[in-house]
Structure 1
Amino acid sequence: MTQKHGGKTVDEDLDWQIVTAVADAKGVEPLELGERLHDVVDLDAVKQLFVGMPSSESMVEGHVSFTLDGCEVVVDQSWDVDVIPQTEIAAD
């Protein structure tokens, strides 16, 4: 399913974007992650938080962060995904 978000069309592949970003950060294949995304966070709730009702503007500004397989994952209102590996978290 495709939605309009923030004036641009966004495919509902946020799940895959997060999983592949974490796998890349860890240097493994996506199916080799030790945790399942949907066991860690309710991604439908994250998507609903940042999708405007009834317009396509975001309801809130900011980000949501959670830990997936030892990496901090940050998703912002534009559905941009940043991954911070555990080694970088420990160094702070």
Structure 2
Amino acid sequence: MKHGGSGDSKVGHEDLDWRIITAVADAKGVEPLDIDDRLHDIIDVDAVKQLFVGMPDKRSMTEGRVSFTLDGCEVTINERWDINVNSHSSVAAD
């Protein structure tokens, strides 16, 4: 599941944390508050922001992507702030 971003570094900068959580929740079919893992225990989101943010109001000067696992999902973020989530967990029937 892919969630779009923007080439403009100021878009998505402040809310990247929430965008990651909601992308994982969407992929898992749960509410964002039902995510078991705490994002900041998994990855330093401020470091990701610094990696991809260029000068204020400019496009990122760094190309690439960062991947990590959050609540059983592989999350990848690229320099355009696109968030791609692949759910690896299988839901067991009750």
TM class, shorter-chain normalised? 0.7 to 0.9
Counterpart of 1:57 in structure 2: which amino acid?
R
User: Considering only aligned residues, what root-mean-square deviation do their CA atoms show, in Å?
Assistant: 2.1
Partner of 1:14: 16
Partner of 2:33: 31
Distance (whole Å) between structure 1 residues aligned to residue 54 and residue 9 of structure 2? 13
Summarize the alignment of residues 44-55 of structure 1 with structure 2, pairs less than 5 Å apart.
44-53=46-55
Q: 2:75 aligns with which of 59, 73, 76?
A: 73
CA drift of 1:56 comes to 2.3
Counterpart of 2:62 in structure 1: which amino acid?
V
Contact 2:9 2:56 (C-alpha < 8 Å) held by counterparts: no
Distance (whole Å) between structure 2 residues aligned to residue 28 and residue 18 of structure 1? 14
Between the aligned residues of both structures, percent identity stands at 63
1:8-48 Cα distance to aligned partner (Å, 9 max, x none): 64141111111001011111111111101111000000000
**Aligned pair count?**
84
Larger relative contact order (CA 8 Å, sep ≥ 6)? 2
Q: 1:40 aligns with which of 28, 39, 42?
A: 42
Partner of 2:66: 64
Contact 1:51 1:58 (C-alpha < 8 Å) held by counterparts: yes
Which runs of no fewer than 5 residues in structure 2 stay unpaired?
Answer: 1-5
TM-score (normalizing by structure 1): 0.79
Contact 2:10 2:56 (C-alpha < 8 Å) held by counterparts: no
Which runs of no fewer than 5 residues in structure 1 stay unpaired?
Answer: none
